[in-house]
Chain A
Amino acid sequence: MNEDLSLRDFRRKLINWAMGAVLALAAALVLIPLLSVFAYVVKQGISSVNWNFFTQLPKPVGETGGGMANALLGTIELVLLAMLVGVPWGVATGVYLAEYGRGKFARALGFCVDLMTSVPSIVVGLFTYTILVMPFKRFSAMAGGASLAIIMIPIVARTTEELLKLVPNHIREAGLALGIPRWKVTLWIVLRGSMSGIITGVMLAVARVAGETAPLLFTAFNNSYWSFKLDQPIASLPIQIYNYAISPFEDWHRQAWAGALVLVCFVLVLNLSTRILMRQPRSTR
């Protein structure tokens, strides 16, 4: 009897250990693609990331050297444009869904937001092309920014909604009981209380759209020069990488890798800084 028990005990411990090992292995396997992609990009790109890369315009075909300065700036411009439209719109949608949306319409809207998150980005590009490129007969930064905004909106909306739903109802009641109108309670108490989380969501959405290529292909198109005009085509890092990668020139391949490395680092830094921001000491209750 006693022996039987110790045997079962042993079996239990063995299974526990084996399960732990299987899970650890699964976790390690997830890291392999991530680390190998990163390592490969670093290996291929690091030698070409230099001062010229960040400061110079692309050189014409045949000439070596040059950089992606305009594409870097272009990506920043496009992301800012996307934020300008996408953040307020997304936050407003999230606030509506969490605070005001009741009934069929709100449920349908929530469903649509979920659908929007999974619309392939090439489709978003095509859509923007038909409404913002075809009528003006011109590729433009505006169209590129709009297509990125369309990708941002559902992400920001969902994050905002989830965060506001975490705010306990008694906080809203406390605001109402002070004689504060509901819209002010929503804006200055509920939303403000979730601000750090919403900023996190926005930054993650930015990290996501910064690397999008497909929606820019036929909206922002490309540009070999600096561009600050919203109604003109504009260069961007992902498109530049794409163009250089499919070109037949060795020097361009080299630069494409450098671009890829910079893009990966940009997204990585954005994600990391978001996490560090999140870890800021926050009192909980």
Chain B
Amino acid sequence: MTNLNPILEARQINAWFGGTQAIRDISISAQPNTVTALIGPSGCGKSTFIRCLNRMHEEVPGASVKGQVLLSGSNIYDGGVDPVSVRRKIGMVFQKPNPFPALSVAENVAVGLRLAGISKRSVLNETVEKSLRQAALWEEVKDKLRSPGTSLSGGQQQRLCIARALAVSPPVLLMDEPTSALDPISTARIEELLNELKKQVTVVIVTHNMQQAARISDRTAFFLLGEMVEFDETATIFTNPKDRRTEHYITGRFG
């Protein structure tokens, strides 16, 4: 696996909130069409790290980043790179489902393209259906495309957010604990969905839930206190970790 060219590669990422360093020298890489899970106890910096991967970290007042993130070989932190164009290629789904208020289901999905200047009805309608199908939501909402996105259930809202992110067809999708606000059934649906999604996109997912990481990911990175302790095949991390701290976390001795 490692002999392929990674689609996404983070090199020596350091991030700060004001004067406080949140993560230290983190490097990972993700092969195309894989799921990479980031696990670790609360406050270990995994959310901060994933937000460095599409330049969302710098939206926090006073926050700063050092290091490189290569998307298909080019550094998204290079001087002339516009964060807006980075985020078109590296989508993100958040912990809390956050459909845009006052926008309908269909508008929520189409908004990324619409605001990028695409106004052709047929293209938009096609994208809405395709993205909702990809997010396994089409059958449930095809009759209420015009109702507000916020009228859906929590699990549906989260899949709506996934559809919204997919609509601009990013090669990479970041997910920051996408199921932690959902019930077990909705969680299971999203996990199933991930298996389908990785045929088209590369996924990096932060999760609190170790079983989830074990079920869905190809590789897993274990974070602790702002550093990355171990990064390996998921099977190895969960059955034969090299670091004692990983082992302790996996076996539930802390965290």
Contact = CB atoms under 8 A, between A and B. Distances in A.
Most B CB within 10 A of own CB, among A176, A195, A284: A176
A225 to B, nearest CB: 45
Nearest to A172: B59
Interface of chain A, helix or strand or loop or mixed?
helix
Contacts of B92: 174, 177
A174 B98 contact: yes
A59 interface: no
A283 B115 contact: no
Contacts of A194: 102
A6 B85 CA distance: 72
Interface residues of B, number: 32
Interface stretch (A135-143, A146-154, A178-186, A255-263): A178-186
B102 A171 contact: no
Interface string A145-179: 00000000000000000000001101101111111
Contacts of B30: none
Interface string B74-98: 0000000000111111011010101
Contact of B96 (A170, A175, A178): A170
A195 B103 CA distance: 11
A176 B112 contact: no
A188 interface: yes
Most B CB within 10 A of own CB, among A102, A176, A177: A177
A167 B88 CA distance: 23
A285 interface: yes
A283 B148 contact: yes
Given A170-B94, A188-B115, A283-B148, A181 B84 contact: yes
A181 B164 CA distance: 16
Nearest to A175: B100
A168 B61 CA distance: 16
B86 to A, nearest CB: 8
A284 B115 CA distance: 24
A179 B102 contact: no
Contacts of B54: 177
A189 interface: yes
Contacts of A178: 87-88, 91, 111-112, 115, 164-165, 168
A192 B168 contact: no
Given A170-B98, A189-B111, A285-B101, A177 B148 contact: no
Contacts of B165: 177-178
Nearest to A178: B112
Nearest to A284: B150
A193 interface: yes
Interface string A195-215: 110000000000000000000
A171 B112 contact: no
A245 B61 CA distance: 58
A195 B100 CA distance: 13
A175 B91 CA distance: 11
B69 interface: no
Given A173-B59, A195-B102, A179 B96 contact: no
Contacts of A175: 100
A214 B170 CA distance: 59
A177 B100 contact: no
Most B CB within 10 A of own CB, among A168, A193, A283: A283
A196 B84 CA distance: 29
A196 B102 CA distance: 9
B182 interface: no
Contacts of B185: none
A174 B161 contact: yes
Given A170-B98, A180-B115, 4 more contacts: A171-B98, A176-B59, A178-B115, A193-B103
23 contacts: A102-B61, A168-B98, A171-B101, A173-B98, A174-B94, A174-B161, A176-B56, A177-B94, A179-B84, A179-B85, A179-B87, A179-B88, A179-B89, A179-B112, A179-B116, A180-B112, A181-B84, A188-B115, A192-B102, A193-B100, A193-B102, A284-B150, A285-B150
Q: Which 3 A-B residue pairings sit nearest by Cβ, starting from the closest?
A: A179-B88, A177-B92, A179-B87
